[in-house]
Amino acid sequence: MSYSDAGGEGASIAPLCASFNQDCTSLAVGTNSGYKLFSLSSVDRLEEIYKCTDAPDVYIVERLFSSSLVVIVSLSTPQRMNVYHFKKGTEICNYSYSNTILTVRLNRQRLIVCLEEAIYIHNIKDLKLLKTIQDIPPNRTGLCALSINHSNSYLAYPGNATIGEILIYDANNLHSVSVIPAHDGPLAALAFNFAGSKLASASEKGTVIRVFSTPEGQKLYEFRRGMKRYVNIGSLAFSRDSQFLSASSNTETIHIFKLEQPSQRIQKLPRLLVAASDGFLYIYNLDPHDGGECVLVNKHRLHSEGDNNDTAKSDLTPATSPTYAATVAKASSVPSSSTAPGYSEDGGILHGEIIPEHELAAGPLHLDDETEFPPIYSCRGSHSEKKKKLRD
């Protein structure tokens, strides 16, 4: 779960935005003085791996997996996207658009920029613009989702401003694929699972959450969030193995739904990570067998200026007999592979990127620091200016 809060009470202290990278191995936080990147390799300690203090009011910050590529958008120039190699401290390129940038999404093939009235699709390897989807229905929140599995790169966005219609677009081959009639009311949240084979959606009513197969759009699951009153669903996220789906809302609660029967490996411990608007990262244990309330095992302050390891722990064992989550938590404190949201004790790579064979794109990207991207000689440009030239 992540958030974006570009104003309001406490905005001068709390971060303006927070987002997990695609495999949840790091957390990016935008502030009014720049942005920070944290490693999520430990439950007990939140390690700050990079801090930029010369970019004011960052309200969008997205990192590409564990690479050095970071995309930021600032309130001072909300129509401009800046792409940086943060380890070298250099700008790779920047693009300006005709209106405010609302959302940025990344995978190893594509970079997506969403405005209220258009979506821009860039090639991740050279940042060149490949396609502009014009005249989309008014999308005031910039709602869209991109599959992180770059072998399909499905893009989902609202197809109607008044009903919950989802358009599925193939961002690799640049054509529309399907339309999913998901809800009666306007859409509020969208999320792909890690494989890009499932898409979760919620409407502004916030009572029903549905999961569809992609790209066909067959309804697979339906979960009821509540019936007595409407809630605003802020975000949806699948676990890495697609066994669970979490939904955050304005009621200050997160619901976790079970999609598949959990693995029989007893020691597998799912964890939920919540980057909240109060400026803390919360880490919970989830009991995959019995459910119930998640157990808070740690929280980390995201906005402390002098102490990035400010930590507050909760009791791991309640007054009654220990829960499954609390028992397993004692045996292992350092997670090693990511889930969305959170991570589980399941092995994996945390430092550097190894792309699975089935995910290899043509001419695979090497995410090993100095040779991550081919030379980009000139990709600075203004799409609004290009439009004017075409019209002239």
Residue 388 is which amino acid? Answer: K
Q: Does 119 or 277 have the greater pLDDT score?
A: 119
Identify which of 32, 35, 33 has the alpha carbon closest to the alpha carbon of residue 18.
Answer: 35
Report residue 5 as tokens.
Answer: 């809060």
Residue 247 is which amino acid? Answer: A
What is each CA distance from 268 to 206, 209, 335, in whole angstroms?
31, 26, 10
Report residue 155 as tokens.
Answer: 């893009």
Cα separation, 296 vs 327, in Å, equals 13
Residue pointed to by tokens 């919360």: 282
Phi, psi angle pair for 270, to nearest 5°: -70, 145
Per-residue pLDDT tens for 54-72? 889 999 999 999 999 999 9
The stretch 152-171 carries a mean pLDDT of 96
Report residue 311 as tokens.
Answer: 């930590």
The stretch 171-197 carries a mean pLDDT of 96
The stretch 203-223 carries a mean pLDDT of 93
Q: Does 344 or 208 have the greater pLDDT score?
A: 208
- Averaged confidence pLDDT in the chain: 78
Q: Which DSSP symbol is given to 371?
A: G
Are the C-beta atoms of residues 112 and 146 closer than 8 Å to each other? yes
Cα separation, 64 vs 68, in Å, equals 7
Residue 207 is which amino acid? Answer: T
Quote the percentage of the chain above a pLDDT of 70. 71
Quote the percentage of the chain above a pLDDT of 90. 56
Instruction: Quote the longest CA-to-CA distance of the chain.
Output: 74
Phi, psi angle pair for 158, to nearest 5°: -65, 135
The stretch 348-354 carries a mean pLDDT of 30
Q: Three-class SS of residue 114?
A: strand
Highest mean pLDDT among 5-9, 280-284, 309-313: 280-284
pLDDT at 262: 57
Residue 225: pLDDT band with limits 50, 70, 90: confident
19: left (phi over 0), alpha (psi -120 to 50) or beta: beta
Q: Which DSSP symbol is given to 326?
A: H
